[in-house]
Amino acid sequence: MSPATKTAAAATAARVARTYFAAVAARDPEAMAACWRPGGIDRLHGQADLVAPDDVRSYFTQLFGAFPDAAVEILSTTAEAERCAVRWRFTATFAGPGTFQGFEPNGARVSFEAVDVLQVADGLVVGNDAYLDGMEVARQLGLVPPRDSGPDKGMTALMNGRTRLVRRLATGQPEPIADGVWVVRGGLPMRTMNVYLVADGDGVLLFDAGIASMTSGLRAIGARMGGITRIVLGHAHADHRGAAPGLDAPIYCHPEARVDAEGDAGAHAFDLGKLDAHGRALLPRLLRHWDGGPVEIAGTVEEGDEIAGFRVVDLPGHAPGLIGLWRESDRLALASDCFYTLDPQTGLKGGARVPHAAFNHDSAQAADSMRKLAALAPATAWAGHADPLTGDVAAQLRAAADAGPAGA
């Protein structure tokens, strides 16, 4: 678009915007609707998306029925090319007789400023983005307490208390376990869901993503630690991908885990009949509660790949494409569910064991992967749940692999 064309388009946009706001000031929904091209979207951010002309006419008919003395004043306009930003002031009484968004008129007086950014084509409005402080409007209408009043401070204290309680119960704080590596434990009541944070440039990557209730806690922790750069799933079960959909970070897994990560989290392969009666009653419900849903996989990793100072090790069996992270310098293994250190039916912690047969893709292969991990002679091996193995880790892994899984 040439400079002259841009100038002409800006002038047209400003003219149409003023015509439109004259109709608003006249409280004339028909004239407002006539300014729109059919199918245009009036996006009232945080409130509604109106499809012109019918939704625009209906919404503003209701608005003016609730605020019969509404006065609209243009404070400034700024036009560029085919857009015009209008800063305006709205002053009115919630006098009725109409209701507004379900609320009965209460006589409240409101006065606030807002900004609309109108897009114009062929002399008509084709789109609009309207921005206003919805909380301030709610305060003026009496829907929430006045700022800094006793009830307002009480609501703030109640919200802060709830936040602290949820954070404390659902997600622990990062615990350093090695140079540049932390564990975050989540899940009620015993916090046995492990998520590992690994220094990755200026931020941290997550190895496994715990359960859905850990989402807000992990998001906050990641932000404090420079941002979550990426999420690497040790495998795709519900209690390991749970928070991933809500963390706004690219997600990676082994190629053979991709189908489960983007699908049902491997639930199709579980044999819950191998659980005891308590487990059969409880765990299906918990798995649904833990899961944040399918994820979009940005890329894949596998045996030998380097990730933030660790090497990927393939450890399949419990799940297709299960991987661990291995760091030679301090002989640290982050092994996801290559092995368990708890009973999944009771949550009670204990020594190393093959993952429960009810959840294994291939129990014999899972035992072999534990032997493969043992051959690395880890100094410390952290599982996907509960506590790590220390001391003679290799001997513990081999003994557990030879014993086989529960539920077999």
Q: What CATH number did the domain enclosing 10 receive?
A: 3.10.450.50
Residue 317 lies in a domain: yes
Residue that terminates a domain, selected from 75, 109, 144:
144
pLDDT on residue 210: 96
Residues of the chain with pLDDT under 70: 1, 152, 155-156, 159-170, 188-189
Whether residue 235 is found in the same domain as residue 291: yes
Are 321 and 251 members of one domain?
yes
What is the DSSP-derived secondary structure letter of residue 274? G
**How far is residue 253 from each of residues 2, 124, 211, measured CA to CA in Å?**
49, 49, 17
The pLDDT assigned to 142 comes to 87
Whether the Cβ atoms of residue 52 and residue 38 lie closer than 8 Å to each other? yes
**Residue 59 lies in domain:** 3-144
Question: Residue type at 28?
Answer: D
Confidence (pLDDT) at 165:
57
Could you tell me if 291 and 358 lie in one domain?
yes
Q: Is residue 168 part of a domain?
A: yes
Long-range contacts of 39-46 (CB under 8 A, 24+ apart): 40/124, 40/125, 40/126, 40/127, 40/128, 41/127, 41/128, 42/125, 42/127, 42/128, 42/130, 43/127, 43/128, 43/129, 43/130, 44/130, 45/129, 45/130, 45/131, 46/134
The pLDDT assigned to 6 comes to: 86
Same domain, 113 and 222: no
**Predicted structure pTM score:** 0.71
> Do both 115 and 171 map to the same domain?
no
CA 279 to chain centre: 29
- Residues 123, 169: one domain? no
| 139 plus 170 within the same structural domain | no
Task: Please tell me the distance from the alpha carbon of residue 13 to that of residue 125, in angstroms, as a whole number.
Answer: 8
Number of domains in the chain: 2
Q: What tokens does 173 get?
A: 């704080």
Residues in the chain: 408
Assess whether 328 and 375 both reside in one domain.
yes
Whether residues 194 and 227 fall in one domain? yes
Structural domain contains residue 369:
yes
Helices (H), 268-340: 277-290
pLDDT at 107: 94
Angle at 310 between CA 307 and CA 311, to 5 degrees: 85
Whether 135 is in a domain gets the answer yes
Same domain, 318 and 392: yes
Instruction: Read off the CATH number of the domain in which 305 is found.
Output: 3.60.15.10
Q: Where are the beta strands (DSSP E) in 150-214?
A: 175-178, 181-186, 193-200, 203-207
Within a domain: residue 114? yes
**pLDDT for res 149:** 81
Q: How far is CA 181 from CA 177, 207, 236, 346, in A?
A: 6, 10, 22, 28
* Whole-number Å distance between alpha carbons of 365 and 360: 9
Tell me if 319 is assigned to some domain.
yes
Angle formed by the axes of helices 215-224 and 150-170, to 10°?
90
Establish if 154 belongs to a structural domain: no
Note whether 122 and 260 are same-domain residues. no
42 & 114 share domain:
yes
Residue 325 lies inside a defined structural domain of this protein: yes
